[in-house]
Amino acid sequence: MVGIVIVSHSGKIAGGIKDLIEQLTQGRVRVEVAAGAVDGSLGTDATAITAAIQRADTGEGVAVLMDLGSAVLSAETALDLLPLEARKRALLCDAPLVEGAVAAGVEASLGSDLAAVRQAAEMSRSLTKLGG
């Protein structure tokens, strides 16, 4: 099963999203978190992201979801720090964090491959919430 990594400036945000995905998938999907700066303040740490990707990878790859700005830079740096084999199986998703992560998590729980998981995450870009 594809693993999910949640990257956020905030540990609380990332932890909450992990809880949501675990609830929706009955804990079947591996979700790892990389959030906060090294001293616990708001920020991101590329080395923590690299470690989270390695933990989340059970062989079928990892979809990475990020919040804003420097989280993306850190996630891109994190990919550079991975060994080559692992690097090929990690994909950053261009999606809003909460909705993208939830969609990715549910898709992963169906046993879908990494490309399908990313696609599910990125579909959240066009999601409208407020109906008629």
Partner 1 sequence: MITSSSIASWLRKAAAEVASHRDELTALDAAIGDADHGINLQRGFAAVLGRMEAGNPAEKTPAALSKEAGMVLVASVGGASGPLYGTFFLRFGGALGDQRELDAATLAAAFRAGLEGIRQRGKAELGEKTMIDAWQPAVEALESAVAAGKPLEVAMWAAAAAAQAGAEATTPMVARKGRASYMGERSRGHQDPGATSTALLVKAAAEAFSERE
Partner 2 sequence: MPTELRLVVKSELGLHARPAAAFVQAAARFSARVEVHNLTTGKGPASARSLLALLSLGVRQGHEVRLVAEGEQESEAVLALAELLGGKDAELEKGLDQFQGAGA
83 or 132: CB nearest partner 2: 132
If we measure between CA atoms, which residue out of 119, 124, 121, 84 comes closest to residue 6? Answer: 121
- What ranges make up the beta strands (E) of 24-117? 31-35, 62-66, 90-92
Out of 2, 75, 102, 108, name the contact with partner 2 by CB under 8 A: 102
Pattern 53-92, binding to partner 2, x per CB under 8 A? ----------------------------------------
Determine the Cα–Cα distance for residues 97 and 36; give it in Å rounded to an integer. 15
Residue type, 71: A
Catalytic residue annotation: 9
Determine the Cα–Cα distance for residues 54 and 81; give it in Å rounded to an integer. 11
Question: Which does residue 124 touch among partner 1, partner 2, none (CB within 5 to 8 A, set by kind)?
Answer: partner 2
Pattern 17-46, binding to partner 2, x per CB under 8 A? ------xxx---------------------
